[in-house]
Structure 1
C-alpha cells in the first residue's frame, strides 16, 4: 500500500476494518454490458508420450488455456464433461463439437524432442467453417511454456474479437515479503513471481515504461524518496530525479516522452510536475495550496487525472494539458463529488473510463467514472464488499483491472474482468502485496 510519506501526502489509503471470515467472494458489479461470449471447447492436450511428467505438463497447459479464456470475460469455456468426441489425433469430428454448442475449438499437442525440449502445437478451429483458422508451433524449455500459452491465448482473442488480449504481460507490485517494501513482478495470471529490487529499504509506486521492460519506482535507498528507472531484464538502474523532498507517484505519458510526478518544492505542499525521461525539463502543471498527487494520463496524453483535497476532501480532478498548466484560465475539473476519500485514478487505455478507489462507509471500493456521459462523466461502483479494494490498474486491452484487497486478512493482488464475474486471486502469499502496475503488451 502506498502510505503517508514524510507526513505530507497520502497516495493510497488503507483502513483497518473488521473483516468477514476468509473465503468471502463479495459482490462484483458489471462495469459495462457483457458482450456476446464465444462458446469455446478446450479439450485436454494430446501428449505424445507415456511419461507421467509429460502428461502432467499437458494437463497444466490445458488448465492454463481454460483459465486464460474464462478470465477474458469474452469467451465461454464449455464444460469438459459435455465433450462428446474422444481424444484423438485423427481428423476432427466437427459435428460433435457443434452439437454441444461450441463455435470454436482449441486443440493443443505436446511432444518431447530428442534433445529433451518441449514442442507444443496449438490450433484454433472455426466450427462454422469447419477449418483451422490459426495455428502456432513453439519449441523451448518447460520454463517457457507458460509464455507460449499466453501468447497463443492473445492470438486467439485477437482473431475472435479483433482486439488482442493481455495474457503475455506482467504486473509489478509492492511486497513486504522480505520485511521491507520491495518491488516484485508477476505474470498477468500471478505466475512466475520474481523480485526486482533487493535494497532492504522502502520502495514504492512501480510504473511501467510504455512498451518496455523498464520500471519507474520511488526508493529511499539514498535516504530520500528519489525516482529511479530499473530495467527488469538487464537488472540495470539509474536515478532520474533526486530533488529535495518527495519524488513520488510517477506516471509515464503514453508516448513515453514525458513523466508526471509529485514533488514538494514548498514545505507542507505537493504539486504535480512534468519531466523528461532523463529527469530534465522540469515543468510545474498544478499550483494550489492543496495537496495534489497521483497523476494519471489520458491515452492521448492531453489530460491528467489526479487527486486533490482543494475542495476539503481528496477527490478526483482532471486538467487539460493541451491548454497548458493550471492557471486562472485553465482550472482543473472536479470529477467526483461523493465519498469522503477518493484516490488512485487509473485511466483505461481505450480512454472510456477512469477507475479509482473510493471510500464509502469506512472502507474502499473500486469505482469507475464512465467518461462522455454528462458533465465529467457518471460514476459507478465496481465492488461492494465488506473489505478494502484499492489500487486499480488497467490491463492494456482495457478488459480487466488488477487491484489490491484485504479480503483474506493481508493484502493480495486480484484481477477481474470489466464484464463482471469472480475476482481472480493472483498472489496467495502471507505478506502484503499492493500497488499493482500492469505492463503494456510485450513485444513479439
Structure 2
C-alpha cells in the first residue's frame, strides 16, 4: 500500500477509541492527517445518469470524511496521463459511467492509483430501476474507501424508512437512501405513521395506522407486501424500538384511555408486559446497555426528560440532568442522543439542540447549534446520527459523523417528514 495511504491507519485507530475520547483527537483528524486526494471524472455514455452518478459519488466521498475530493470533467475512455495528475498532487482517479438496460441502471467505476500509474480495479454496479442510481454511487464510494483501507462506511447503503405527510389526514411510508435522493412509496392510503425496521435484514417494518378510529400497530412484510395486526390502543400505539434479534418490541401504549406507558412485547409468545406505571406520560422506550435496560421520555418532573428502568420494570432512574425540555431519544448500547429545547419563543421558531451522553459516565456533548434540530437517530453501527434541521429559511436532513465532528445537510424543500428509522 502506498505510503500516502498510511495516514488512514491513524483514522482506523481513532475509530476504535471510545466516544468520550474523540474530542481530544479531532485536531489530528481535521488538520494533521493527510487524506488521499481523489478526482471523480465522467466517461460519457448515458449523459443524464452519468452526471447524476458523478455528483452523487462526489458527495458520498465528501461525507465519508476520508478523502479530499474534486469534481472533474468529461473524459475519453482511455488511460490517463498520470504525470499530469501527479503534478496536481492527485492520488486517485475515479472514472464513472452509466448506461440503461431494460429500465435498470448499470454504473461502471474505474479506479486508478496515480502513484503506481495503474488501474487498480474496474467494476460494474447494477440497480433494478433508474431511480435507484444513488445506491450505485454509494456502492462505488464504499469500494473506493475499502481500497485505501479507511474505516468502513457500509452505512451509506442502508435503507431509510420514513413516513411523510401528503394531504390532510394522509401520509405514506416510503423507502429511501440516506440522502433521500431516492424515494419509493410502499404503504399508502390513510394515515400511516411511526415506521420502524423490524429486523437487521430490513425485510419487516412496523408502523401505526388508524383502524376503526383506533391507533393500530401493524407488521409489514416487504417481500409479500402483506401486513398483520400486532395490537391496538385507545390513544397511542407506537413501536419505539426493536431488539437486535428482532424478537422484542418496545411499545408506547395508552390502553383504556389512560396515560401513555412503555411496554415490552415478545414476538414469539405475544406476551405484553408493562414496564412503566405513571399517572403522566412515559413514551419512546429505547433499549440501552446491551438491551438490559430501557431509556424513555417522561414528564414525571413536570417537563419532558429522559429516564431509565430495567426490563423487569423496576426502579426508575433519571439519566439527563441538562435542560428542561428533553425528548426525541435514540440509543446505541450505552450512548443516548436526545433533543433539548433551549429557547421559549411564543411566536417564532424555538431552538432545539441535540446532545450525546453515555450512561456509564458524566460525559455530555452538544452536537448541533442554531435552529430546531429534531428526530435524532443512530445509524446501525452507532457512528452517525441522522436528524431533521429546521431554520427560518429552510429545512434539511442532517448527517452527523460522530468520529469526525462534522455535519452534512440535504435540503428538504418539498417533503414533510413525520418520522423515520435508519
Task: Name the TM-score class by shorter chain.
Answer: 0.7 to 0.9
Q: Judge conservation of contact 1:125–1:131 (CA < 8 Å) in 2.
A: yes
The equivalent of 1:356 in structure 2 is 338
The equivalent of 1:171 in structure 2 is 160
The equivalent of 1:214 in structure 2 is 204
Q: Judge conservation of contact 1:43–1:107 (CA < 8 Å) in 2.
A: yes
- For residue 64 of structure 1, report the CA deviation from its aligned partner: 0.9
Whole-angstrom distance in 2 between the partners of 1:303 and 1:74: 35
Whole-angstrom distance in 1 between the partners of 2:41 and 2:359: 44
With over 3 angstroms needed to count, the CA separation of the structure-2 counterparts of 1:126 and 1:233, relative to structure 1, is farther
With over 3 angstroms needed to count, the CA separation of the structure-2 counterparts of 1:408 and 1:95, relative to structure 1, is farther
Aligned length, in residue pairs: 385
The equivalent of 2:16 in structure 1 is none
Q: Residue 177 of structure 1: SS of its match in structure 2?
A: strand
With over 3 angstroms needed to count, the CA separation of the structure-2 counterparts of 1:109 and 1:294, relative to structure 1, is same
Which residue among 98, 106, 112 is the counterpart of 2:94? 106
The equivalent of 1:389 in structure 2 is 373
Whole-angstrom distance in 2 between the partners of 1:365 and 1:213: 33
With over 3 angstroms needed to count, the CA separation of the structure-2 counterparts of 1:99 and 1:209, relative to structure 1, is farther
- For residue 40 of structure 1, report the CA deviation from its aligned partner: 3.5
| Mapping of residues 384-423 of structure 1, within 5 Å | 384-385=369-370, 387-407=371-391, 413-418=397-402, 419-421=404-406, 423=408
The equivalent of 1:40 in structure 2 is 37
Gaps of 5+ in 2: 1-21, 345-349
Q: Residue 211 of structure 2: SS of its match in structure 1?
A: coil
Whole-angstrom distance in 1 between the partners of 2:393 and 2:169: 19
The equivalent of 1:223 in structure 2 is 213
TM-score by length of 1: 0.76
The equivalent of 1:204 in structure 2 is 193
Deviation per CA, 1:197-229, whole angstroms, max 9, x where unpaired?
A: 3222x3322111222132111111331111112
Whole-angstrom distance in 2 between the partners of 1:68 and 1:319: 39
The equivalent of 1:369 in structure 2 is 356
Deviation per CA, 1:101-137, whole angstroms, max 9, x where unpaired?
A: 4444322244567x79754321344555555555421
- For residue 41 of structure 1, report the CA deviation from its aligned partner: 1.5
Structure with a larger share of its residues in helix: 2
Aligned CA-pair RMSD: 3.1
Whole-angstrom distance in 1 between the partners of 2:162 and 2:296: 20
Q: Judge conservation of contact 2:335–2:356 (CA < 8 Å) in 1.
A: yes
With over 3 angstroms needed to count, the CA separation of the structure-2 counterparts of 1:293 and 1:371, relative to structure 1, is same
Deviation per CA, 1:279-311, whole angstroms, max 9, x where unpaired?
A: 811122223344211112237323322111223
Q: Judge conservation of contact 2:295–2:308 (CA < 8 Å) in 1.
A: yes
Whole-angstrom distance in 2 between the partners of 1:342 and 1:265: 25
With over 3 angstroms needed to count, the CA separation of the structure-2 counterparts of 1:103 and 1:369, relative to structure 1, is same
Q: Residue 50 of structure 2: SS of its match in structure 1?
A: helix
RCO comparison, higher one (Cα < 8 Å, 6+): 1
The equivalent of 2:176 in structure 1 is 186
- For residue 167 of structure 1, report the CA deviation from its aligned partner: 2.2
Q: Which moved more, 1:157-166 or 1:388-397?
A: 157-166
Which residue among 51, 60, 64 is the counterpart of 1:68? 60
The equivalent of 1:18 in structure 2 is none
The equivalent of 1:254 in structure 2 is 244
With over 3 angstroms needed to count, the CA separation of the structure-2 counterparts of 1:259 and 1:266, relative to structure 1, is same
Whole-angstrom distance in 2 between the partners of 1:112 and 1:293: 47
The equivalent of 1:56 in structure 2 is 48
Q: Which moved more, 1:189-198 or 1:155-164?
A: 155-164
The equivalent of 1:123 in structure 2 is 110
Q: Judge conservation of contact 1:240–1:277 (CA < 8 Å) in 2.
A: no
Q: Judge conservation of contact 1:412–1:432 (CA < 8 Å) in 2.
A: no
- For residue 252 of structure 1, report the CA deviation from its aligned partner: 0.6
| Mapping of residues 276-315 of structure 1, within 5 Å | 276-277=266-267, 280-298=270-288, 300-315=290-305
TM-score by length of 2: 0.79
With over 3 angstroms needed to count, the CA separation of the structure-2 counterparts of 1:77 and 1:242, relative to structure 1, is same
Whole-angstrom distance in 2 between the partners of 1:227 and 1:395: 23
With over 3 angstroms needed to count, the CA separation of the structure-2 counterparts of 1:228 and 1:109, relative to structure 1, is same
- For residue 259 of structure 1, report the CA deviation from its aligned partner: 0.5
Q: Judge conservation of contact 2:42–2:72 (CA < 8 Å) in 1.
A: no
With over 3 angstroms needed to count, the CA separation of the structure-2 counterparts of 1:148 and 1:279, relative to structure 1, is farther
Whole-angstrom distance in 2 between the partners of 1:436 and 1:162: 26
Gaps of 5+ in 1: 1-30, 439-444
